[in-house]
A and B are shown apart, each in its own frame.
Chain A
Amino acid sequence: MLLNYIKIAWKVLLRHPFYTFITLFGISLTLTVLMVLTSFLDHLIGSHYPENKRDRTLYIMQMRLQDSSRTSNSSGPMSFKFLTDYAKTLKTPERVTITTFINSSNAYVGSQKIKLNTKFTDADFWQVTDFDFLEGKPYNEQNIANGDNVAVITDDLKKQYFENTAEPVVGKDIEIETIHYKIIGVVKASPVTRPFTYADVFFPYTTPKSNYQATGMRGGYVAMILGKNKADLPAIQEEFKSHIDRIPLPGIQDGFKYSVLEVKSVPYLENFLGPLMEGNAGLRTIFFGVITFVLFMLMGLPAINLVNINVSRIMERASEIGIRKAFGAPVRTLVWQFIVENIFITLIGGTIALGLTLIVIRLINTSGMIAYADLTINLNVFIISLIVCLIFGLLSGVLPALRMSKLNIAEALKS
């Protein structure tokens, strides 16, 4: 019976090729867009190389100072000293690393210029993150204590800087702004969308120009706190807050008199949404208004579209339903037939969408729009969107079918 229904569905599809195309196009386009979108979001905020432990990591990205009248603000990264005093001393976490946020520099090979992103980090950086070492090893506490001019570079920089990429470069020399560094490790490059870990070259913080000696509270450093497990995070936040609360208020920093000092250790996404949540109410309303509007349109329109197409497909077959009723088919059989038909079509659309998504993601990854992008398909999202499509398909297919099947046979046959 099931096979028969599928056969009928197939024949119905073939009867109106153009119409079938529209149905499948609608379903697969919607699913594709949903999947590409979520895989992109997952790329931005999920736990991926080299921040594989992002789900149990807290980030300290900025310090906010405010004066007593709350009219002027000053915010930005912190100094190495500040983070050493207040974050490195935490007891609860497994490990804390301090690193510069975004720095850039240039290197020159002959008449070629290479734009570089640099990072000054401590030795714990390599434990908190999960960089793949293709060659050599990371620098350790010993290198830092000695103030060695060593560097870890990415495979991509290696390709640009050295002519012969086949032979190992560990132990070789790289010149950046007239300072010579000895390469001690080569890591696989990470995407630019992860600012806490993205760089082309990593230096120990004791190399020149890192400004780790700065004595104020502000500087160019941020921190990542790795908890032993996810459940520990609230305790870590609590402990960090108690450290911050010890700072006497009010105070003066670089000539700025502050009476409010705010430093938070928060999960990754909150770092970036935080300012928006705390921002003024108008901005927040606009932001959420627009997001809701876009989401509503993004979900609502394809849903209406699907309902629409399904309804018209079934209404077109009023006479078929009439004939089947005349020959004694019960309502249940009719509804069941349309359910099978809908599932069948949705699955075809889903398969096409899966293929399309793979192609689009492939394109994004290889296009170089985002350096070293590593988008992947999220199967959960695929299944959920497929189920949503099925629900809409059923609602829109079954309800009219149900109504049709309750029609008078005579009237159904007449049309």
Chain B
Amino acid sequence: MNERTSFPTILSLIHSFTLSLFTHDLSSVKINLEQKESPCAADCRNLGFVYGSFRTGNVDCCERWKLREPLGFSYQNVWAISLKANQDTTEIADKLQRVQQRLKGYAEVEAVSRMGSNFPFSANQTNNGIEYNKRKVLADFYTTDENFAKTLDMSVPVGRWYRNADSVGKYTPVIINQKAKEALFGDENPLGKIISERFRVVGVVDNFKAKGEFMTNKPALFELAKANAIWIDTMLIKVKPGTDAAFEAKVVKDIASMMTGWSVEVDYLTDSRKNQHNLVLVPIIIALIVSGFLLINVALGLFGVLNLSIAKRRGEIGLRRALGATGNGISTQFIGEIWVLATFAMLIGLLFAAQFPLLNVFDLQAGIYVVAILIAVAIIYGIVTLCALFPSRQAAMIQPAVALHEE
């Protein structure tokens, strides 16, 4: 091969190489989408901007890979009413209880529950380490009252939800979710056990994915709120279906006139859920657009190279046709050649890509990478074939007489 013909070959090698490098990224992003799973809010916040970009896009989706689990609660027709006392500092706990009583009185309200500001789908998060028998785990903490499970339609398969009457003695009654139970107790029966020397388990719930379907199902702990706690200032209310903003306006007006100077804000959990989803989806969409742009560029480059190499080999094609090769035979030859080329480039690309699962970068399961790599390989062959199709059709149409005449 002389210098001139080798140049396009090198270029196309570079192309398929880069192609193979970042289709991995693209496909891992795709996995994310397909799995309908993605990083939880905490990771999002930690990694900030980094999150949108390629490889990190699949951080953390491993666990959720196999666990396409339900949320564990129902959010339809649930509103979160956040209260803020502002400059009022007297008898806050009392006033909060009065608000709760008032809310219960409305005909439109089915259930009312009081909790901290980290209500489902909110931007707030609280977590703490808990311990049982030297086994430690980091759990999301939710401080709620006895009506929480009823308001969010949660079932308690083991034990029962706590009641105000449970808060006697020095231990606070708590409910844990299945994840926390597995982490702390394994196969042991958790009911009645003491965690971290201050919580007594009274029940176990299944899942609790408070930040939406994309969130990892993490260990969670629900703690009974003390009656005099002043920071348990969010009211979750479940309203009858069809209740509209006119009722909301009435509620806000009533509370505001009961508690002068307080701020009252109402969020529908359905809206908050959408916000949480956007937090996850927007970076993925941006990554997809960027990857798509790069793929198009590479495909264009491949077109150019193939076009040139076919133009250069007219004589050879003519000769083959004259000796009886069919048009299809010629097309197949070119597509085959580009596949061989792509395979070489891909092997080099894989050498790099393989480092990620081997070195355990980003703390991901190897399975995710394997699937990502497989998808990437499929995409590469797809693109390469697509790019080769048009030029190879052209080559197949070369008339042997014309081509050989030129020679």
How many angstroms between the C-alpha atoms of A305 and B305 in the bound complex? 10
- Decide: A301 and B294 in contact? CB cutoff 8 A: yes
How many angstroms between the C-alpha atoms of A134 and B124 in the bound complex? 38
Mark the stretch among A227-235, A252-260, A290-298, A379-387 that contacts chain B: A290-298
- Decide: B294 and A22 in contact? CB cutoff 8 A: no
Contact with B along A102-128 (1 / 0, CB 8 A): 001110101111000000000000000
- Decide: B294 and A311 in contact? CB cutoff 8 A: no
Return chain B residues, CB-CB under 8 Å to A26. 297, 300-301
Mark the stretch among A59-67, A205-213, A322-330 that contacts chain B: A205-213
- Decide: B248 and A29 in contact? CB cutoff 8 A: no
- Decide: B87 and A305 in contact? CB cutoff 8 A: no
Return chain B residues, CB-CB under 8 Å to A105. 263, 265
Residue in A30, A291, A312 whose beta carbon sits within 8 Å of that of B304 in the complex: A312
How many angstroms between the C-alpha atoms of A106 and B250 in the bound complex? 12
Whether A287 sits at the interface, judged by CB under 8 Å, is: yes
Whether A286 sits at the interface, judged by CB under 8 Å, is: yes
Whether B153 sits at the interface, judged by CB under 8 Å, is: no
- Decide: B86 and A211 in contact? CB cutoff 8 A: yes
Return chain B residues, CB-CB under 8 Å to A211. 86-87
How many angstroms between the C-alpha atoms of A276 and B50 in the bound complex? 10
- Decide: A33 and B308 in contact? CB cutoff 8 A: no
Instruction: Give the residues from 82 to 139 in chain A that come closer than 8 angstroms, CB to CB, to chain B.
Output: 104-106, 108, 110-113
Given known A22-B303, A25-B300, contact A208–B261 (CB-CB < 8 A)? yes
Return chain B residues, CB-CB under 8 Å to A307. 11
Whether A283 sits at the interface, judged by CB under 8 Å, is: yes
Instruction: Give the residues from 1 to 31 in chain B that come closer than 8 angstroms, CB to CB, to chain A.
Output: 4, 7-8, 11, 14-15, 18, 22
Residue of B nearest to A318 (CB): B4
- Decide: A304 and B290 in contact? CB cutoff 8 A: no
- Decide: B307 and A302 in contact? CB cutoff 8 A: no
Return chain A residues, CB-CB under 8 Å to B344. none
Whether A245 sits at the interface, judged by CB under 8 Å, is: no
- Decide: A177 and B294 in contact? CB cutoff 8 A: no
How many angstroms between the C-alpha atoms of A283 and B46 in the bound complex? 9
How many angstroms between the C-alpha atoms of A16 and B391 in the bound complex? 12
Residue of B nearest to A19 (CB): B307
Whether B249 sits at the interface, judged by CB under 8 Å, is: yes
Residue in A291, A293, A304, A316 whose beta carbon sits within 8 Å of that of B15 in the complex: A304
- Decide: B252 and A108 in contact? CB cutoff 8 A: yes
- Decide: A110 and B246 in contact? CB cutoff 8 A: yes
How many angstroms between the C-alpha atoms of A29 and B290 in the bound complex? 12
Return chain A residues, CB-CB under 8 Å to B263. 105, 177, 209
- Decide: A309 and B265 in contact? CB cutoff 8 A: no
Given known A108-B248, A113-B245, A177-B264, contact A309–B304 (CB-CB < 8 A)? yes
Return chain B residues, CB-CB under 8 Å to A179. 256
Residue of B nearest to A284 (CB): B50
How many angstroms between the C-alpha atoms of A104 and B15 in the bound complex? 50
- Decide: A177 and B87 in contact? CB cutoff 8 A: no
Whether A308 sits at the interface, judged by CB under 8 Å, is: yes
Q: Number of B interface residues, CB 8 Å?
A: 51
Return chain A residues, CB-CB under 8 Å to B296. 29
Whether B48 sits at the interface, judged by CB under 8 Å, is: yes
Per DSSP, chain A at the interface is helix
Given known A178-B253, A290-B56, contact A297–B22 (CB-CB < 8 A)? yes
Given known A209-B263, A304-B15, contact A283–B297 (CB-CB < 8 A)? no
Residue of A nearest to B362 (CB): A286
Q: Number of A interface residues, CB 8 Å?
A: 49
- Decide: A111 and B265 in contact? CB cutoff 8 A: no
Whether B244 sits at the interface, judged by CB under 8 Å, is: yes
CB distance from A203 to the nearest CB of B (A): 12
Given known A29-B293, A33-B293, A312-B307, contact A22–B300 (CB-CB < 8 A)? yes
Return chain A residues, CB-CB under 8 Å to B244. 111
Residue of A nearest to B7 (CB): A311
Contact with A along B201-244 (1 / 0, CB 8 A): 00000000000000000000000000000000000000000001
- Decide: B390 and A283 in contact? CB cutoff 8 A: no
CB distance from A209 to the nearest CB of B (A): 5
Given known A19-B307, A29-B296, A305-B301, contact A213–B256 (CB-CB < 8 A)? no
CB distance from B220 to the nearest CB of A (A): 23
CB distance from B87 to the nearest CB of A (A): 6
Return chain B residues, CB-CB under 8 Å to A290. 50, 53-56
How many angstroms between the C-alpha atoms of A332 and B68 in the bound complex? 67
Whether A14 sits at the interface, judged by CB under 8 Å, is: no
Return chain A residues, CB-CB under 8 Å to B264. 177
CB distance from A275 to the nearest CB of B (A): 8
How many angstroms between the C-alpha atoms of A306 and B182 in the bound complex? 57
How many angstroms between the C-alpha atoms of A26 and B263 in the bound complex? 55
CB distance from B67 to the nearest CB of A (A): 26
Whether B388 sits at the interface, judged by CB under 8 Å, is: no
How many angstroms between the C-alpha atoms of A33 and B266 in the bound complex? 40
- Decide: B11 and A304 in contact? CB cutoff 8 A: yes
- Decide: A178 and B256 in contact? CB cutoff 8 A: yes
- Decide: B246 and A312 in contact? CB cutoff 8 A: no
Given known A106-B265, A294-B53, contact A304–B301 (CB-CB < 8 A)? yes
Contact with A along B27-53 (1 / 0, CB 8 A): 000000000000000000011111001
How many angstroms between the C-alpha atoms of A283 and B56 in the bound complex? 12
Return chain B residues, CB-CB under 8 Å to A410. none
- Decide: B256 and A106 in contact? CB cutoff 8 A: no
Contact with B along A190-227 (1 / 0, CB 8 A): 00000000000000000011010100000000000000
Given known A108-B248, A209-B261, contact A308–B87 (CB-CB < 8 A)? no
Residue in A113, A286, A309 whose beta carbon sits within 8 Å of that of B248 in the complex: A113
- Decide: B298 and A106 in contact? CB cutoff 8 A: no
Whether B189 sits at the interface, judged by CB under 8 Å, is: no
- Decide: B297 and A302 in contact? CB cutoff 8 A: yes
Whether B257 sits at the interface, judged by CB under 8 Å, is: yes
CB distance from B366 to the nearest CB of A (A): 20
Instruction: Give the residues from 299 to 316 in chain B that come closer than 8 angstroms, CB to CB, to chain A.
Output: 300-301, 303-305, 307-308, 311-312
Return chain A residues, CB-CB under 8 Å to B312. 315, 415
CB distance from A342 to the nearest CB of B (A): 15
CB distance from A168 to the nearest CB of B (A): 26
Residue of A nearest to B308 (CB): A312
Return chain A residues, CB-CB under 8 Å to B49. 276, 287
Given known A18-B390, A178-B252, contact A301–B56 (CB-CB < 8 A)? no
CB-CB nearest 8 A-B residue pairs? A312-B308, A108-B249, A113-B245, A111-B246, A178-B256, A305-B301, A309-B304, A290-B53
A29-B297, A294-B290 known; 14 new pairs, CB 8 Å cut-off, are A26-B301, A177-B252, A177-B256, A209-B86, A209-B263, A211-B87, A287-B48, A287-B49, A297-B22, A301-B18, A301-B298, A308-B301, A315-B312, A316-B311
Q: List 7 A-B contacts (CB under 8 A).
A: A26-B300, A111-B245, A293-B54, A294-B54, A298-B294, A312-B8, A315-B4
Chain A residues proximal to chain B, CB less than 8 Å: 16, 18-19, 22-23, 25-26, 29-30, 33, 104-106, 108, 110-113, 177-179, 208-209, 211, 213, 276, 283, 286-287, 290-291, 293-294, 297-298, 300-302, 304-305, 307-309, 311-313, 315-316, 415
